[in-house]
Amino acid sequence: MTETPLVLVTGGSRGIGRHLAEGFAAAGHPVLLTATDRARAESAAAEIAAGTGGRVAGAPLDVADPDSVAALLDRVTALEAESGRRLRVLVNNAGVIESSEGPLWEADPADLVRVIETNTIGPLLVLHRFVPHLLEVARATGEPVRIIDLNSGSGAAGTPAYAAYSASKAALFRIADSVDHYGRDAGLRIFEMSPGVIESDMTHGMPIHAARTGDDWTSPAELVDLALALAAGGLDAWSGRYVRAGVDTPDALAARADALGEHTRRLHLDPRDA
């Protein structure tokens, strides 16, 4: 049986990233998670390792800093040598949202820039640095490698109250188009996964979610199940496309895999539409 590969989860010390790091570790994957602060990353890793019995490490990362991203790749290659497991799953999770809702012209410009730098520039820099490594892994192992971007319904359909966040997530669709176009034949797969609406510090701070209770929230288990299925390879037909935890199940996506249209679940506007 093939050993479970190393998984990298950016922004994995809390919220959605924490659920994903815990889920991959519980499924037997060695996990490297990141946070902007080294101590917080290492503390979260130790807690997850204790709770799951898995191999979990933490590392600092500022996704918008090319030098920080380069240092993270060095850490990954060291872990690969130490564990004997290659990195074959990258989860681009690190992200932020505006500190307040409303018209963008009433927002703090620095806050808008922070969102775009973290959510769009960050994944671009991570992909720029890590895709060559992942492609080398695909060549060496003869098996596909996979990237899971944490996207959002705000990227797919827009959320007017959060202009920068919506724009940053819509941009990920265009980046994924290019990654899928150039990487697919070389064994690279990329998925735009919305986590649904998970209870977290971020969502509890958003007035648009203030009325949610109980079943209105997406279950973390549904999120983890979908991420594990994407990482396992049975849903590779969905590379470059959008999937949503809490709505899509692995079985339902697999059943549709042979009937996907050119634009199914891709961000697409037909300019010929009236």
For the chain, domain boundaries: 6-257
Q: Are 213 and 241 in contact (CB under 8 A)?
A: no
Distances, alpha carbon 16 to alpha carbons 26, 213, 227, in Å: 15, 18, 11
Query: Which strands make up the sheet holding 56-60, listed edge to edge?
Result: 56-60, 31-35, 6-9, 87-92, 145-150, 188-194, 242-244
Average confidence (pLDDT) over 229-245? 97
Question: Which amino acid is present at 257?
Answer: A
Q: Is 262 helix (H, G, I), strand (E, B) or coil?
A: coil
Structure confidence at residue 42 (pLDDT): 98
Residue 56's DSSP bridge partners are 31
Q: Is a pLDDT exceeding 70 seen at residue 51?
A: yes
Structure confidence at residue 182 (pLDDT): 98
Q: In this predicted structure, which of 67-76, 201-210, 235-244, 262-271 has the lowest mean pLDDT? A: 201-210
Q: Any long-range contacts for 245-250 (C-beta under 8 Å, 24+ apart)?
A: 245/193, 245/194, 245/195, 245/196, 245/218, 246/196, 246/197, 246/218, 246/219, 246/222, 247/196, 249/222, 249/225, 250/225, 250/226
H helix intervals, the chain: 15-26, 38-52, 66-83, 109-116, 122-141, 153-156, 163-183, 201-204, 220-232, 250-256
Average confidence (pLDDT) over 51-71? 98
Q: Is a pLDDT exceeding 70 seen at residue 118?
A: yes
Distance, in Å, from the CA atom of 248 to the CA atom of 232, rounded to the nearest integer, reads 16
Average pLDDT over the chain, rounded to an integer: 93
Q: Any long-range contacts for 39-43 (C-beta under 8 Å, 24+ apart)?
A: 40/13, 41/12, 41/13, 43/13
What percent of the chain shows pLDDT beyond 70? 92
Average confidence (pLDDT) over 176-186? 98
Query: Residue 273: which pLDDT band, with cuts at 50, 70 and 90?
Result: confident
Residue 193's DSSP bridge partners are 150, 243
Structure confidence at residue 203 (pLDDT): 59
Distance, in Å, from the CA atom of 253 to the CA atom of 232, rounded to the nearest integer, reads 14
Distance, in Å, from the CA atom of 153 to the CA atom of 248, rounded to the nearest integer, reads 13
Structure confidence at residue 3 (pLDDT): 80
Q: May I ask the CATH architecture of the domain 6-257?
A: 3-Layer(aba) Sandwich (3.40)
Query: Residue 196: which pLDDT band, with cuts at 50, 70 and 90?
Result: confident
Most confident of 124-138, 184-198, 199-213: 124-138
For residue 105, the Cα-to-chain-centroid distance in whole angstroms is: 29
Average confidence (pLDDT) over 246-261? 96
Residue 90's DSSP bridge partners are 8, 147
- Chain segment 78-95, per-residue pLDDT in tens: 999 999 999 999 999 999
Structure confidence at residue 243 (pLDDT): 97
Residue 59's DSSP bridge partners are 34
Average confidence (pLDDT) over 105-113? 97
Q: Is a pLDDT exceeding 60 seen at residue 43?
A: yes
Query: Residue 1: which pLDDT band, with cuts at 50, 70 and 90?
Result: very low
Q: Is a pLDDT exceeding 90 seen at residue 212?
A: no
Helix or strand (DSSP H, E) at 188: strand 188-194
